[in-house]
Structure 1
Amino acid sequence: MRAVKTVISAAGNLKRENPNMNEVSRVSLLICLRAILDVNVPKFLQDDLKLFNGIVSDLFPKTKQEPINYGSLEDSMRNVWFINKCVQLYETTVVRHGLMLVGPSGSGKTKVSLLRATVSLADLFTVDVLNPKSITMGQLYGEHDLLTHEWTDGILSSLIRTGAASMDKKKKWYMFDGPVDAVWIENMNTVLDDNKKLCLSSGEIIKLSDVMTMMFEVQDLAVASPATVSRCGMVYLEPSILGLTSFTECHHIFGQQSYL
């Protein structure tokens, strides 16, 4: 049901971009096609994508998607090597406030997160990166002192409270760089739901604003529960999509040296 809702949300966003169109026109068919592609294509690996494209071609015969102009976003991405994945990430953030970048080391998860791709758009974003596995649950979400019963904010609760209280419209991304497991991720199910609420053990409930996005950069989903996976948009990455250019021209990352 969450997947269906996401497709409907994507189609609704596209429909609002074309408010005067005829409901039975070719534009409506293209909107439905694009919504299905935008929501599902980022989830698939290269081998799965061939099967999915075959199914789509049967559902939408003789229908070809028109090229999409992303304006300044696309211009700023010309400095990176895998534009398609950057666009897929962007499309996922439009319809989901929680998403996961999944792939092995070297697949470009950090690069594709647009931290480097949106240099010219840096004034539109703030990004907070943390590794939840490097700290305790109390340090992440906050905890009561066992002796004084005094509440101490955690790193995440403090960041979320500050972001929710902010009055600006700047996009706020919270990047969790580390393995996903049931020890800490289950506490975020209410955050990833449509109500977008962080419920703390102190009884406080913090409502996320529309400009706040929870992002997870993980190697795999081996220990992630279906409840968590179904709440998040998925963008899968493979080293094969990078080609050789990203390795031969990585001098700006590794001390101005080129590695072959």
Structure 2
Amino acid sequence: MRAVKTVISAAGNLKRENPEMNELICLRAIRDVNVPKFLQDDLKLFNGIVSDLFPKTREEPIDYGSLEESIRKVCDDKCLKDVNGYITKIIQLYETTVVRHGLMLVGPSGSGKTKCYEVLAAAVTALQGQASVSGGVYEAVQTYVLNPKSITMGQLYGEFDLLTHEWTDGILSSLIRTGAAAMDEEKKWYMFDGPVDAVWIENMNTVLDDNKKLCLSSGEIIKLSDVMTLMFEVQDLAVASPATVSRCGMVYLEPSILGLSPFTECWLRTIPTLNGQ
């Protein structure tokens, strides 16, 4: 049901952008929501299913205009190679942030997960105030990165002192409370850079639901605002529960999208020249 709701939300955004569009809206919404989570081999099967559902329907290439230009410029500024497949993944991450407030960047080391959200945040911030491809305008992005596995549950969510019964806020509860109280329209991305497991993420099921409420053990409930997004940067979901996975959007990055040549080229650019050569 959560997957169906996401497709409907994406279709609604597209309909508001293009009131004259026909059944292509449904096709594009299904693609935008599902393609980011598939491997290259799975895409062939998915495309076969879609071609059966929408026979003789040809999709026009989507023009992301200023967003794609800004992404390529940020890649150049950060000394990164703008590989087309990687640019597509960054745009897919943007599309996922529009329809989901909880999402996961999944992939092994070397697939470009960290740079994916860093480049997108810089690109969107550079476009602040301009009309966006999803309706509305682009807003500046603030990112907050923490490793939930490097600290205790009490340090993450907050805890009572057993002797004094005083409540001490955790890192996440402090960040969420500050973000919820802020009156600006800047996007706030909370990046959990560490393994996902049932020890700490099960406490986030309520905040990943549509009601977007973080429930603390002190009895306090903090509701996320519309500009707040929870992101998880993980290598795999081997020990994540279906309850958590179904609540999050997925963007899967494969090392094969980049290969080795972009790493080599970017490294060669950083080597200082000798005698002007």
Q: Choose which of 39, 46, 51 in structure 2 pairs with 1:57.
A: 51
Q: Structure 1: 5+ residue runs without aligned partners?
A: 22-26
CA shift, 1:16, in A, is 1.2
TM-score norm. by structure 2 comes to 0.86
AA paired with 1:236?
Y
What is the number of equivalent residue pairs in this alignment?
249
Asked whether 1:164 is paired with 2:186, we answer no
Q: Choose which of 144, 150, 164 in structure 1 pairs with 2:160.
A: 144
Cα pair 1:77 1:118 within 8 Å, conserved: no
Give the 3 Å change call, closer, same or farther, for CA 142–31 of structure 1 in structure 2.
same
AA paired with 1:42?
P
Alpha-carbon distance in 2 for matches of 1:233, 1:75: 25
Asked whether 1:111 is paired with 2:115, we answer yes
CA shift, 1:174, in A, is 0.3
Cα pair 2:97 2:103 within 8 Å, conserved: yes
AA paired with 2:50?
V
Q: Structure 2: 5+ residue runs without aligned partners?
A: 76-81, 127-139, 273-277
Secondary structure in 2 matching 1:112: helix
Summarize the alignment of residues 74-223 of structure 1 with structure 2, pairs less than 5 Å apart: 74-78=68-72, 79=75, 80-81=82-83, 82-113=86-117, 115-122=118-125, 124-223=140-239
TM-score norm. by structure 1 comes to 0.92
Give the 3 Å change call, closer, same or farther, for CA 32–177 of structure 1 in structure 2.
same
Question: What's the C-alpha RMSD, in Å, of the aligned pairs?
Answer: 1.6
Alpha-carbon distance in 1 for matches of 2:271, 2:217: 49
AA paired with 1:16?
R
CA shift, 1:29, in A, is 1.0
Q: Choose which of 62, 66, 70 in structure 2 pairs with 1:68.
A: 62
Give the stretch that moved more between structures: 118-127 or 41-50. 118-127
Partner in structure 2 of residue 24 of structure 1: none
CA shift, 1:121, in A, is 3.5
Runs of 4+ in structure 1 off by over 6 angstroms are none
